Amino acid sequence: MIDNVLLDIDGVCNRFHYHVFNHFGLPYHDDSYYPVECGWDMVAAANKLAGCNRFTTTSFWKSITREVWATAPVSEEFDLLLEWSKDQVGQEHIFFLTSPTLDADSVAGKLEWIQRCAPKWMHRQYMIGPPKHLLARSNALLFDDSDKNVKAFKEHDGESVLIPRPWNSMHGKNVIEYLEEVLPWF
């Protein structure tokens, strides 16, 4: 039985990729524009969209300001995930998980995003850091867009759902339809 739900922020609760690519003026109207062959590598995807090697890893990530992190639009499934989670485990057992870059503006912007986009009861329910699998246990469910995070969480006895995105192994699936199919199992 699930009694804790962990929600990844970027790529699950918000449309960070969309927002960043538009911030850079790249042609990205929806996820069908994402170059699937780039996988998880956002810098390679940005360069592919730009049609040249416009970005280095350092220049790309340093160009993302606090405001960009803070103003990423919510994902289409954010409300569904939040309401489903609240119905399953109650408000006090839902947490955001996020792995910021090394830039302090990333952390600050993500916290501002929580305050701007999440209900007030979620404003202090977050955990920050890359080792999400350390929170895995049989009664915890992670929603994430990273194959690696989902796999590690399962390997440490947690439950997890990979949110279909063009950069992961579930690319091409309709997210809402997929969630309506898998959520009843938990």
Q: Which two tokens stand for residue 100?
A: 């910021």
* pLDDT tens-digit readout, 152-162: 999 999 999 99
pLDDT for position 55: 98
CA atoms within 13 A on the CB side of 67: 2
pLDDT for position 111: 98
* pLDDT tens-digit readout, 45-100: 999 999 999 999 999 999 999 999 999 999 999 999 999 999 999 999 999 999 99
Task: Find the mean pLDDT for residues 19-44.
Answer: 96
Could you give phi then psi for residue 7, rounded to 5 degrees? -110, 115
What residue ranges define each of the domains in the chain, with the CATH number in brackets? 4-15+70-185 (3.40.50.1000), 17-65 (no CATH)
Say if residues 168 and 178 touch (Cβ distance below 8 Å): no
Candidates 8, 28, 113, 12; CA nearest to 66 is: 113
Task: Find the mean pLDDT for residues 102-113.
Answer: 96
Query: Which residue in this structure is represented by tokens 């209900």?
Result: 119
Mean pLDDT score of the chain: 97
pLDDT for position 101: 94
Say if residues 118 and 76 touch (Cβ distance below 8 Å): no
Candidates 164, 166, 155; CA nearest to 182 is: 164
Task: Using alpha carbons, list the distances in angstroms from residue 170 to 36, 60, 174.
Answer: 11, 26, 9
pLDDT for position 67: 98
Say if residues 36 and 24 touch (Cβ distance below 8 Å): no
